[in-house]
Structure 1
Amino acid sequence: MITDLNSALSANIKGMKRSAIRELLKYLGAPGLISFSGGFPSPLTFPVEDLKEIMNDVMEKEAAFALQYGATEGDALLRELLVKRYNEQGIKMEMENLIITTASQQALDLIAKMFIDRGDYVIVGLPSYLGGLSAFNSYGANMIGIPMDDEGEDPEILEAELKKLQAMGKKPKFLYLIPDFQNPAGVTMSEKRRKEILELAYKYDVMIIEDSPYRELRYEGETQKTMYEMDGTGHVIMLGTFSKIFCPGFRIGWVAAHPDVLDKIVVGKQATDLCTP
């Protein structure tokens, strides 16, 4: 190895830190430990027998296709089914509005790669998802936290921060929000609050990243509209994943956005992994 590894490292990697969550997971095997370090569903809920049957069927009928390189945008049939599912939920979407990623964590990294230059500002909830913060930090973002109450992030504090940046001749690259069952606060943003924050996004011309992995984990109460469906102007990029609604090891996610935005994400993804497995 070279004598001074640190001198050869990029500014980006020097700014990265190990994930606090992933480090905690090392201790999962400790005898007698009941871990709350991650959102681990019971393995008893995993549809193992169904998956065996499906995988055997795929290997018998579609092995050559399944094991070959695929499109960077993701499998066309999967995209079609996800779009159909959203439309059935009342969320208008076309195939051109959705691509597949290696879970939503890759989507966060690709969005950070697409938008953030070192020193740029990003607005996040206070507190917010560590995986998202790590992705933004790895590209040198300056993060501004917006406190939340039981309806979500406070729009008055948000506008005050936007005005401060505006006075400096700056604006944030995006707002990162988890409107449904926010991680780690657990808050679901009210429809009124979603509208207020969307209006601020329009007023200050800022993108919103709507991270939506938990939306379907609702057992009671009324499902809120996504900010993506409330928008209609292309200001919102919505992320989804099977990790929370199927199995965490099933690393398949997606990004829904305006086609022009997805085109740039695809370019970034091609340089990362060519295509999702």
Structure 2
Amino acid sequence: MSDEEWGIQLLGPLRVQVGGRPLDLSGPRQEKVLAVLVLDADRVVPFDTLVDALWDDAPPDTARRQVHNAIAALRRCLGPLRDLIVTDGRGYRADLSGAPGGRERVDAHRFLHLVRSADTALAAGHRAGAVTALTDGLARWNGPALAGLDGRAVRILAGRLDEQRLTALERLFDLRLDEDAPGSLVPALAELVATHPLRDPFRRQLMLALHRAGRQADALEVYQQGRALLAADLGLDTRAELRLLHERILRCDPALDRPATGPGAPPPAPATA
């Protein structure tokens, strides 16, 4: 394994770099295999899992040979990182534990490590440390996970990563609402609500930021927009948490102006690997 600086990016288009230079993996088949192996790093990925990743439910009769060929091609493309891909029993394994820098050189694993660090910081009462860890982790993203790769198995993996990003954003804004000027958070939260209109936490956070910024009418309008969207798209009413916040904003509940800090403040949900 080369001791050159290297990195694998999965949080956006898949990219591999060695010594500051990008490597060409010669096509989506090698890229899919690498993504599946690296995301399940240091564990054996069965042959059948790779077949599913490449062909979903319709593998060709030559699938076994083609998987072997894809692994061989991937190793050639990886050059100084060729030893990263290990044959292990009835499958293959990405040996990150044996690579210089290990998981820290893969943006997805670094992101998850920083989210877990935020858990640890918050459990110790270090809210600023949690904000820093979440901010650093989210800065690793360069677009939707595994952008440009297709296939059911890849979409499932990418969906899990994208969901972890959204959860980290929700946790970060919960913390920042108690630390930052609320008006400064409105543009980013408004964009998140526009992109994810059915995701309640972002709508709740935008309502609270607007209310704390003295924009009560705008906060109430954000609620009404969400209520209308749910009714039109799903035939549902808003959930209890948003309805309660709406009522509290209507009556100008002074408790909404106080940050939810201190020993009684709920911690963020723990990270999932």
Bigger CA radius of gyration: 2
Higher strand share: 1
TM category, shorter: under 0.3
Flag the structure with more relative contact order, 1 or 2, with Cα contacts below 8 A and sequence separation at least 6.
1
TM-score, normalised to structure 2's length?
0.22
Higher helix share: 2
TM-score, normalised to structure 1's length?
0.22
